[in-house]
Amino acid sequence: MKSKPSPTQLTLFEFSPTSVDIGWDNITCANLQGVSVSECLELLRLAPALEYYRVIPDEDPTVPDDTATLHPRLRSLYFSFSGMHFLEMINIPSLAEWTHDTGSNPLSATILVSLFERSSCCLKMLTLNDIPFTSANFRLLLQAVPSLEYLWLYISQDQSHNGEMDDILARIFRSPSVTSAIPQEEITQELFLPRLWLIYCAGDDPSFAPFSWDLIPYLYRLGHRHSLTFQSIAYQSHINDEVSRQLLQLTDEGADS
């Protein structure tokens, strides 16, 4: 060819970025899978205009603990559970959208919190897929992203429902009276996500409800977050006629649930 191709979108499966001879300056969207953490970091260095990055690296325990790779323009990141060293070696101050697929592995809240604090990013959208839910880790994560506006949760059935998501919802709706876990001194404070206006929460199986449906009308009746949109999927085994009636009444009154 007389000149190098200069794409705006790039997808590589099990090919190192350095193995392709292209111009990198125009790439804004990249999908990289099946390569080492070092090679995933290399793409960040090669593509200064990158804004959307889907990255599923292989585990790479030999990656040195070095200065984090700075990418000032990256806005959206999809990351799988493997290759966690990648998260410890990036600095992405413009990040606004994050999708994290745990693959039924424990949520690495401390690593994510460290990334958000290091980057000083203003995260707007967070999607967590296939979460084996532990409320302690999740609380830690939510406290680190007060700028969040959209929250999508897909919760794994690996752990049985034991009220943990109820506790999180109570905190989001700022309802201390429905959970004994909230200290008395926090009652007058905004507990979680003051800018949140949409939350979606669903289990990974129709037989599994990750929260108590009868809690939702009560939370809205308290009136602390009446404008917050709550979305989910209700199966017949999850919800009774009385709760359905209360939800319909709330909708008629203007609640977005």
At 103-151, the pLDDT tens digits run 767 777 888 999 999 999 999 999 988 776 667 778 888 889 999 999 9
Q: Would you place residue 185 in the very low, low, confident or very high pLDDT band (cuts 50, 70, 90)?
A: very low
pLDDT of residue 81 exceeding 60, the answer is: yes
What would the two tokens of residue 21 be?
């001879």
Rounded mean pLDDT of 24-46? 95
Give the list of residues 6+ apart from residue 126 with CB closer than 8 angstroms, or none: 98, 100, 145, 148, 150, 151, 152
Q: Would you place residue 196 in the very low, low, confident or very high pLDDT band (cuts 50, 70, 90)?
A: very high
Q: Strand, coil or helix: what is 52?
A: strand
Q: Would you place residue 65 in the very low, low, confident or very high pLDDT band (cuts 50, 70, 90)?
A: low
pLDDT of residue 188 exceeding 60, the answer is: no
Rounded mean pLDDT of 31-57? 95
Per-residue model confidence (pLDDT) at position 62: 66
Domain ranges of the chain: 9-252
Chain Cα centroid distance, residue 252: 31
Q: Across the chain, what does the average pLDDT equal?
A: 84
Whole-angstrom Cα distance, residue 59 to residue 47?
22
Rounded mean pLDDT of 38-62? 90
CATH class of residue range 9-252: alpha beta
Which residue did the predictor score with more confidence, 58 or 99? 99
Q: How many CA atoms lie within 13 A of 246 on its CB side?
A: 14
